[in-house]
Amino acid sequence: MIYLHVPFCRSFCTYCDFYSEIACRDRDAQTFEAYTQALCAEASDRRDEIEATRDLDTLYIGGGTPSVLPLSYLERILFILPEGGKAAACCRKYSEFTIEVNPEDIVEKGAEYVRGLLALGVNRISMGIQSFDDSILRWMNRRHDAARARQAFAILREAGVENLSVDIIFGLPQLTEAVLARTLDELLRLRPEHISAYQLSVEEGSTLGRMAREGRFTEASQEQCAAQYAQLCRTLGEAGYVHYEISNWALPGREAVHNGAYWTRHPYVGLGPAAHSFDGTTRSWNSKASAATASGNRATLGIVRGGTASEAKRWGPKDVSGGSWLLREGYEVLSAAEEREEQLFLGLRTARGIPEELAGPGAAPLLADGRLTRTPEGRLRIPEAAWFVSDDIISDLI
């Protein structure tokens, strides 16, 4: 189970705090070459870790904006992964291989690019549409408008993509019931296999965070957010989508395998700058990097490996043309109590819920007042009607 982080974007969205850097078109080749060399070196070094997670054979490429990266670089990265190979000959087959794309990139690169992704083994595409309202898209600083989103969706279908996931965002103060209804109507006409709906959050390092600190943005009220979430649940449920996790809906049988494994705490390897990994007991993470801004200063090149920056030793190809990150920069070994809390928090985000014995005696009052219910399999879950306040319920249980 592998996550691969592509840290490049053409522009930054207002709300985003994920690690990414602007890819400038006049330096794309240098930037992508540096990243690809460093990523391949990391994958080669961590081959044994990757093999240890092979029981769940999934690959997820996220970002950033992975669709900024040309196919030739992506193919080189896939080739270096265990049992990888050129697409036309012996490319490793993943049970689920997802890549995130931006509508603007799909429109610009066209169906040929999409067919190239499929030839490399991609069998699931996740596209961030966020809204079908142009004023909201402009406020988010998205590179596409609603028309481009529709066009991109059509190109993906035309090229043969049969498993499409679409992201949208709710919880905006300017998002009225009517505007959300129009976005959902358009989405349901497209009928993607999977829909993720995320509540807008104000992240400290984002443009939105700065706007909030300067008094130029006020978050939507809890009542507004709860009403929008209820509208999502009602509309998508009536359309036949299964609400299998707090933020995720799917047509029957189209639930995300890779993301679902995070909620069951399955081990995974995260490759690339700012990527996280989990081996079953220990979480680790790579540092962020400046891959897009390095300019040939060989004193700062290559990958650094070690527990902390001060303890790390220089490693990796010394002639990389730019970019570096610390492998496994930090570690967190979970205690037994922390493992239980994590199992509760992640498991109760899902419709499947948790084993009753994990909940302990604290479950009794929550069962009595309906904040927890039993599934037909005898597990405990939070009912959909209470998912919006799930954090409070989980906190009470812990």
Domain covering 2-263 in this structure, CATH number: 3.20.20.70
E-strand spans in 200-279?
Answer: 242-245, 248-250, 269-271, 276-278
Structure-token match 């006049």, residue found? 26
Element (H, E) at 106: helix 103-119
CA dist 339 and 333 (Å) reads 10
The whole-number pLDDT of residue 91 equals: 54
Reference 324, options 316, 333, 334, 336; nearest CA is 316
The whole-number pLDDT of residue 150 equals: 97
Look up residue 186 and give its amino acid: E
Look up residue 36 and give its amino acid: T
The whole-number pLDDT of residue 250 equals: 98
Q: pLDDT of 280-314, one tens digit each?
A: 889 998 988 754 433 332 222 233 444 433 333 33
The whole-number pLDDT of residue 294 equals: 37
For 10, 115, 154, 173, 246, the CA distances from 65, given in Å and listed in that order, are 8, 18, 20, 26, 24
Phi–psi pair at 229, nearest 5 degrees: -65, -40
The whole-number pLDDT of residue 30 equals: 85
Q: Are 354 and 380 in contact (CB under 8 A)?
A: yes
CA dist 257 and 136 (Å) reads 31
The SS3 of residue 188 is helix
> What pTM value is reported for the model?
0.88
E-strand spans in 39-171?
Answer: 58-63, 96-101, 124-130, 164-170
Q: Are 101 and 67 in contact (CB under 8 A)?
A: yes
Residue ranges matching CATH 3.20.20.70 in the chain: 2-263
CA dist 104 and 395 (Å) reads 41
The whole-number pLDDT of residue 307 equals: 40
Strands 282-285 and 248-250, by their bridges, are unpaired
Phi–psi pair at 379, nearest 5 degrees: -95, 170
Which residues of the chain are modeled with pLDDT < 70? 24, 26-27, 82-92, 290-324
The whole-number pLDDT of residue 287 equals: 87
Look up residue 144 and give its amino acid: H
Q: What is the signed CA dihedral for 127, 132, 136, 137, rounded to 10 degrees?
A: 40
The whole-number pLDDT of residue 83 equals: 56
E-strand spans in 109-202?
Answer: 124-130, 164-170, 194-199
Distance between terminal CA atoms of the chain?
Answer: 29
CA dist 223 and 374 (Å) reads 28
The SS3 of residue 369 is coil
The SS3 of residue 43 is helix
Q: pLDDT of 36-66, one tens digit each?
A: 999 998 998 898 899 888 888 999 999 889 9
Per the document, the length of the chain is 398
Strands 2-6 and 269-271, by their bridges, are parallel
